[in-house]
């Protein structure tokens, strides 16, 4: 789990706390939890290392999905996607609309598969992180991981 922020740290990370809590409540463990700067190379390197570890089935990032100049999570992770999961962003925005209305156009939440590891990029707000994790990621991640890692026949 990666929080992308230049102002947060592991002790002040409400969105990251929510994601970790929801995974643990569902019976999953959190192998890695880090805060990385809003830096393209740092984000990309951190996600790639998660995929290389072997003990991480899914990566969730929070932060850096908006439209400010320093929001680079989408660009950094999308370069690593072997496959994209457009339904994730579409569904996330649909669910978010019920909470924030048309402001949802400002989020670029996305997902894809990085070397057999589903990777989800959520906005940095605690509510958005909780919504995406509880309503989409926790229920779907085990299935998607199984599919992404299925050996080709």
Which pLDDT score, from 0 to 100, does residue 110 have? 98
User: Is the Cβ–Cβ distance between 52 and 115 less than 8 Å?
Assistant: yes
Domains and CATH numbers, the chain: 2-148 (3.40.980.10)
What is this structure's pTM? 0.95
Distance between CA atoms of residues 138 and 114, nearest Å: 18
Name residues of the chain where pLDDT drops below 50: 153
Write out pLDDT tens, residues 80-94. Answer: 999 999 999 999 999
User: Is the Cβ–Cβ distance between 56 and 22 less than 8 Å?
Assistant: no
User: Is the Cβ–Cβ distance between 118 and 58 less than 8 Å?
Assistant: yes
CA angle 79/82/84 to nearest 5° reads 85
For 26, the 3-state DSSP assignment is coil
Which pLDDT score, from 0 to 100, does residue 153 have? 44
Distance between CA atoms of residues 72 and 59, nearest Å: 16
């Amino acid at each position: 789990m990666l929080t992308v922020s230049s102002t947060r740290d592991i002790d002040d990370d409400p969105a990251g706390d929510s994601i970790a809590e929801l995974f643990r409540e569902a019976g999953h463990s959190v192998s890695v939890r880090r805060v990385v700067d809003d830096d393209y190379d740092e984000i990309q390197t951190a996600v790639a290392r998660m995929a290389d570890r072997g003990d991480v089935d899914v990566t969730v990032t929070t932060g850096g999905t908006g439209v400010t100049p320093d929001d680079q999570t989408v660009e950094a992770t999308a370069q690593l996607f072997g496959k994209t999961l457009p339904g994730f962003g579409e569904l996330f925005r649909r669910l978010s609309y019920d909470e924030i209305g048309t402001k949802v156009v400002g989020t670029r939440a996305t997902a894809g598969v990085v070397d057999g590891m589903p990777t989800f990029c959520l906005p940095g707000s605690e509510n958005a992180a909780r919504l995406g994790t509880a309503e989409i990621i926790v229920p779907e991640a085990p299935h998607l991981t199984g599919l992404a890692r299925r050996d080709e026949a």
